[in-house]
């Protein structure tokens, strides 16, 4: 019973959130369909009136009117189907609440996968809390003894909200757990449509093996352009990026390995074009991790 309930909830969530990323058809499409139906109906009516006196013209009116009625019905049905796929959309705040709940669950899962409890953590009260920020729509200080959580978009289909914020179908999440003896990290991909997780990785590094906590800006894969991705308004020139640059926060270790998340997206050919993302708290997280590294590098 519980598995069926969970499956139904996942299906309902996917159906609801998919609407956010589906462009709403323009009203002009509906107006054209209504005009065709009205014009077709009038033509058929005139054909009936003229049938006895001008049979040839009546036949032409029947043919033209019938064609207009068929086209109008097809366009109206198409508009209705597209509208039902896109509306009603969840609000921006509802989307953020859903993401916040996902992050809470991922944080708990990370602690379990890493075998860490709150008593093992060395984090202070001033660290960034993305969950509280999403729920409160403002920067909120994080309570003690919780890991540092960062999330960012994977370059997937996106929608631009009424608030101008870009929200994506796929995210990657980084949970950083500084402990007395080592730096433990959990990384995963979040399918925002279903809430499912994939590509889960856990890493544990001795502090003297961590060489950098930094941000890097690099080109996105050559075959990816945000111009091709779905938006709520595909005709909006402001979201057409010719060449995408990603800014990523990365934790790098001495063997050359690095792990991180995307915290910024810009157009290489026009730096004024930037994706507006939810607040990442990147500066606070970098500061917190660097403080821990400094403390544990002291003799």
Q: What are 40-82's pLDDT values in tens digits?
A: 888 888 878 787 777 778 888 888 888 888 998 999 999 999 9
**Alpha-carbon span 154 to 150, nearest angstrom:** 13
**Alpha-carbon span 296 to 299, nearest angstrom:** 8
Asked if the model's pLDDT at residue 3 lies above 80, the reply is: no
Q: From the DSSP assignment, how many helices (H) and strands (E) are in the chain?
A: 6, 10
**Alpha-carbon span 52 to 48, nearest angstrom:** 8
Q: Kind of pairing, strands 170-178 and 166-168? A: unpaired
**Residue 239 CB contacts under 8 Å (≥ 6 apart), including other chains:** 160, 226, 227, 231, 233
Amino acid 100: pLDDT: 92
**Alpha-carbon span 260 to 253, nearest angstrom:** 12
Amino acid 291: pLDDT: 81
Amino acid 296: pLDDT: 73
Q: What is the dihedral of CA 293, 296, 297, 299, to 10 degrees?
A: 160
Residue 163 region by backbone torsions, left for phi larger than 0, else alpha for psi between -120 and 50, else beta = alpha
Across 163-181, b (16+ Cβ under 10 Å) vs e yields eebbbbbbbbbbbbbbbee
Going by C-alpha positions, the residue among 268, 105, 106, 112 that lies closest to residue 172 is: 106
Residue 5 CA to chain centroid, in angstroms?
Answer: 25
| Banded pLDDT at 185 (limits 50, 70, 90) | very high
Predicted model pTM: 0.83
Give the least confident one: 163-167, 237-241, 260-264: 237-241
**Are 227 and 242 in contact, with CB atoms under 8 Å apart?**
yes
Asked if the model's pLDDT at residue 221 lies above 60, the reply is: yes
Going by C-alpha positions, the residue among 265, 268, 218 that lies closest to residue 243 is: 268
């Amino acid at each position: 019973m519980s598995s069926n309930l969970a499956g139904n909830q996942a299906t309902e969530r996917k159906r609801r959130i998919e609407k956010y990323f589906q462009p709403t058809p323009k009203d002009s499409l509906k107006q054209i369909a209504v005009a065709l139906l009205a014009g077709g109906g009038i033509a058929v009516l005139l054909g009936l009136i003229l049938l006895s006196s001008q049979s040839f013209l009546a036949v032409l009116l029947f043919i033209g009117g019938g064609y207009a009625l068929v086209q109008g019905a097809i366009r109206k049905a198409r508009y209705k189907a597209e509208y039902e796929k896109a509306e009603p959309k969840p609000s921006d705040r509802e989307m953020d609440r859903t993401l916040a709940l996902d992050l809470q669950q991922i944080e708990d899962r990370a602690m379990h996968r890493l075998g860490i409890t709150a008593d093992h953590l060395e984090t202070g009260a001033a660290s960034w809390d993305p969950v509280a920020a999403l729920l409160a729509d403002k920067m909120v200080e994080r309570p003690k003894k919780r890991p540092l959580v960062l999330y960012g978009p994977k370059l997937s289909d996106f929608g631009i909200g009424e608030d101008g914020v870009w929200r994506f179908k796929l995210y990657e999440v980084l949970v950083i757990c500084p402990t007395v003896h080592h730096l433990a990290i959990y990384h995963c991909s979040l399918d925002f449509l279903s809430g499912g997780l994939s590509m889960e990785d856990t890493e544990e590094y001795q502090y003297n093996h961590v060489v950098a906590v930094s941000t890097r800006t690099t080109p996105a894969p050559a075959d990816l352009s945000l111009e091709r991705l779905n938006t709520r308004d595909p005709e909006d020139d402001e979201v057409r990026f010719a060449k995408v640059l990603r800014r990523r926060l990365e934790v790098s270790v001495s063997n050359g390995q690095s792990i991180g998340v995307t915290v910024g997206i810009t157009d290489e050919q026009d730096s004024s074009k930037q994706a507006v993302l939810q607040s990442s708290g990147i500066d606070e997280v970098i500061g917190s991790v660097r403080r821990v590294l400094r403390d544990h590098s002291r003799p």
